[in-house]
Structure 1
Amino acid sequence: MKIQSILVQLLMIIAFLLQLEAMAQPHNLCEAVLDTDGNELQPGIPYYIVSAIRGGHGGGLSIGIRARSSSRTPIVKQHSHGMNFGSPVIFSPSPYPSGKPAGIQSLREVPSTPSSSQEMTIHESTNLNIKFMEMPGVWQVNESGRDRYVTLEGKPGQPGESTVKNWFKFQRFDESSPTYRIRYCPGVCHSCHVTCGDIGITKEHGTRWLSVSKRGEFPFVFIKASNYNEAN
């Protein structure tokens, strides 16, 4: 009986230690990104990126021109009205999430879109191009004074040093809901120096521009465009 009691206690201790280890482990960045229906995000499918905070925190995303910008560069902005979902975007994963593989001498040898044999699900560790459906350029981080705005000047694909500003990732806020942040910390160029940050909102004369921030972020959800359009 004593031996059985000791074995039971040992099993309970082992189970407790395993639970502590699981709780201490970091969030799994290989988890699939989900839309508001609980389905996995798919490359090439249009989605709306909409504020996860309803009521006074804005709606979806579209394109605008800053009044103070002399270059007239198109910049991603957030609609101030929560019911305006903006324009749909599509996502294109890097075919090489960890950068240019050994043996590839030129970026021209890297395909710009994933092959049909690649996994067609977007994960939190996936490096992505993001683009509005009606625009040729992909999102790109560019500096303007002290701010780094999200513009539409990037060229799609070709992961590496020349396109390092064009890649983004998604990171989940809360395990209980499909709410995410946009993370600018590209992993497509190991030799590049990048100051990472989350995408937040810079307010200017009533307009909400997307910019890279070290202190704030923009919590959002993905709404599949076809589902929203059918419902409306």
Structure 2
Amino acid sequence: MEEQTSPLCRLNMLHNAGTMLQKTLFLILAGGREGLAKKSSRKPQSPRCQWTPRGCIKRSASGKAGKRPEPDTRVLRSTILAAVFSLGVLFLVSRGALGRETRQPVLDLDGRQLNSGARYYMVPIQKDRLRGFFSGSRNGTWCPMYVKQAPPAFSDGILVNFAPVDGAKTVRLSTDLNIEFYESNTCPEKPVWTLAPVDKVSGQRFVRLGGMVGNPGPATTNNWFKIEKDGDNYKLVFCPGVCETCRQEDAVCGDLGVYRDVYDRWLVLGGRPLTVKFKRFRR
């Protein structure tokens, strides 16, 4: 996959493409004016030269027009190709830069935009799911940890950070991002959310820790989530768009819901969407 660029880099590319297009069009217009000026300053036709729209055609000794010289169109052709190329670059860069900006920002409980440098509590709003997110072990093993709803003593759960794939400061809807617990992890895995393979016992795909931040591509597709609108609130979605080379049949998309066993409520792919709000952490 091609390397992701920052918004500032994309704007610089857009500016450079516009400048290139402006210079190219100026050269075309300047060349046209220069040609008209030369044509208007030409001397009156002589018996040995007949002026035509394609240039001067020399007459033979008999007075008949000789063979027309082939005009040199290489400069004009190169100029036109440069203009077409500049238009293409301008279109592609502006499409990428402006397309991301049209996505609405995600807002917290105070109506402020989510910031990738801040920490938040993700609090579900359903009456039976009012607790935030926590980490816990399952299947009789301590590591890796899995994401579950917090116990009653920790109703807000653990703080999280968001890292959008494009490196933007503002977290926006429908944008691939990493979610990371802001905690000291006792396991060797990083506290970054990732979607685990299908569990053989339950048939569920649990969200666990052990992902990594950044490095979008085929090897990291399970680490990317999205935030989507759900009425006046939000929901978490797994539908990574960071792998353009992956096979279509391997693509998996769905809302994140809750799977309940005899021990806890675990975050999984599928089921009833878990609707959340974001509460910014204040010291």
Give the structure with higher Rg (CA). 2
- From 193, 197, 222, the equivalent of 2:278 is 222
More displaced stretch, 41-50 vs 72-81: 72-81
SS at match of 1:163: helix
SS at match of 2:110: coil
Task: Say whether 1:30 aligns with 2:103.
Answer: yes
- From 76, 79, 88, the equivalent of 2:150 is 79
CA contact (8 A) 2:178 2:225 kept: yes
> Counterpart amino acid of 1:53?
Q
The Cα shift of 1:157 comes to 0.8
Which gives a bigger RCO, structure 1 or 2 (Cα 8 Å, sep 6+)? 1
In the TM superposition, what whole-angstrom CA distance separates every residue of 1:179-223 from its partner, at most 9, and x where no partner exists?
A: 11100000100122221111100101140110101x421111100
> Counterpart amino acid of 1:60?
G
- Runs of 4+ aligned residues of structure 1 deviating over 6 Å after TM superposition are none
SS at match of 2:143: coil
Other-structure match for 1:122 = 171
The Cα shift of 1:32 comes to 0.8
Give the TM-score, by structure 2 length: 0.57
> Counterpart amino acid of 1:85?
D
Matches within 5 A, 1:131-142: 131-134=180-183, 135=185, 136-142=190-196
Give the TM-score, by structure 1 length: 0.69
> Counterpart amino acid of 1:155?
M
Answer 1 or 2: which has greater helix percent: 2
Q: Extract unaligned runs of 5+ from structure 1.
A: 1-27, 96-113
> Counterpart amino acid of 2:275?
P
More displaced stretch, 154-163 vs 78-87: 78-87
RMSD, aligned CA: 2.1
Other-structure match for 1:63 = 135
CA contact (8 A) 2:121 2:278 kept: yes
Question: For the residues of structure 1 that align with 2:261 and 2:140, how far apart are their CA atoms?
Answer: 12
In the TM superposition, what whole-angstrom CA distance separates every residue of 1:135-156 from its partner, at most 9, and x where no partner exists?
A: 4331000022211011111111
Other-structure match for 1:89 = 160
Percentage of matched positions with identical amino acids:
33
CA contact (8 A) 1:171 1:180 kept: yes
CA contact (8 A) 1:57 1:80 kept: no
Other-structure match for 1:162 = 219
The Cα shift of 1:80 comes to 5.1
Other-structure match for 2:235 = 181
CA contact (8 A) 2:117 2:169 kept: no
